[in-house]
Amino acid sequence: MHQRYTQYDRFAKIYNRHLSQFSQRALPVLERLMLSQLTAPAHILDICCGTGQMARALLARGYKVTGVDGSAQMLHLAKENAPGAQFFLSDVRDMNLSPSFAGAVSLFDSLNHILTLDELTLVFVNVRAALHPSGPFVFDLNMEQAFVTCWHRYFQAIEGNDHVQIQSSWDCESKLGRNHVTLLRADDGRPIEELTVVERCYSETEITTALYAAGFCSVRVYDAKRDLGMLEETGRSFFLCHNACHENG
């Protein structure tokens, strides 16, 4: 049994208020890669669902949604953001679901937060086991170009009493990117909360090999900027996987 991602409880409010807009940018991509294959009210599994923005968008399109995340605080906010969805608390490395889902999705480089290839492969095994035989799985990851190009940036936001600073860093030797997050007092600038969120960079070969090892029979890779029109997304790739070999080609 893995330790659940409880450190993300401390990050939940910051994420929900300042970093959760990616779902809207990614929705046209999801429409193209997956939703065009699924007729509402098909049941979609939202892996590492965070604070529920994608679940809310899918509900608005008539789909049934189940979200899973390892952070209780993320799920508390998800239930507020998408009250029509079902959410449950589980580490996706230990997730054990029956094959009842027509499709699965994991967005905003959520799976980069799985820090070893063996554990990422285990997540893929668990997702595949939850899908119908023909069910598609779509997810995106930050690739090395994203870390090299973008992970030396500083971000800050001020909203009400929140003053958030995020400093990104990238270590090419360990293949780890870190977001150093600080929540400051608005009146005097003193830190209230400090934490570091870590992502692992995987190569396309590592990812596709892990997917095939998990039992997926068809894997297609799309560059977000070049292939999908997400011009602001340098170094992000989307993966479209199918659970049944006849989907290949």
The CATH fold assigned to 147-199 is: N-terminal domain of TfIIb (2.20.25)
Q: pLDDT exceeding 70 applies to what percent of the chain?
A: 95
From residue 25, give the alpha-carbon distance in Å to each of 29, 49, 53, 54, 224: 8, 16, 11, 10, 11
Residues 126 and 117: beta-carbon distance below 8 Å? no
For the chain, residues classed under CATH 3.40.50.150 are 6-143+203-247
Sign of CA dihedral 143, 144, 145, 148: positive
Q: pLDDT category, 3, cuts 50, 70, 90?
A: low
Q: pLDDT exceeding 90 applies to what percent of the chain?
A: 78
CA dihedral 90, 119, 227, 242 (to 10 degrees): -80
Contacts of 205 (CB under 8 A, 6+ apart): none
The predicted structure's pLDDT at residue 175: 98
Q: Provide Rg for the chain, Cα atoms.
A: 18
Is the model's pLDDT at 209 over the cut of 70? yes
The predicted structure's pLDDT at residue 159: 65
For the chain, residues classed under CATH 2.20.25 are 147-199
Residues 237 and 138: beta-carbon distance below 8 Å? no
The predicted structure's pLDDT at residue 188: 73
The predicted structure's pLDDT at residue 1: 59
Residues 181 and 165: beta-carbon distance below 8 Å? yes
Structure tokens at 141: 């990851």
The predicted structure's pLDDT at residue 104: 98
> What does the mean pLDDT of the chain come to?
92
Half-sphere exposure of 249 (CA within 13 A, CB side): 2
The predicted structure's pLDDT at residue 4: 61
Mean pLDDT, residues 20-32 = 94
C-alpha 180/C-alpha 194 separation (Å) is 7
Q: What is the pLDDT of residues 173-190, one digit of tens each?
A: 999 999 999 888 777 777
Beta bridge partners of 156: 165
Total residue count of the chain as it appears in this document: 249
Q: What is the pLDDT of residues 54-87, one digit of tens each?
A: 999 999 999 999 999 999 999 999 999 999 999 9
Beta bridge partners of 198: 178
Task: For tokens 């890669």, name the residue.
Answer: 33
Q: Rounded to two decimals, what is the model's pTM?
A: 0.94
**CATH number listed for the domain at residues 6-143+203-247:** 3.40.50.150
The predicted structure's pLDDT at residue 205: 98
The predicted structure's pLDDT at residue 244: 72
Task: For tokens 């958030």, name the residue.
Answer: 164
Is the model's pLDDT at 247 over the cut of 60? no
Q: What is the pLDDT of residues 108-137, one digit of tens each?
A: 999 999 999 999 999 999 999 999 999 999
Task: For tokens 């993966």, name the residue.
Answer: 239
The predicted structure's pLDDT at residue 249: 38
Is the model's pLDDT at 24 over the cut of 80? yes
Is the model's pLDDT at 20 over the cut of 60? yes
C-alpha 142/C-alpha 25 separation (Å) is 15
Contacts of 50 (CB under 8 A, 6+ apart): 15, 16, 20, 69, 74, 78, 108, 110
The predicted structure's pLDDT at residue 42: 98
Structure tokens at 119: 């554990």
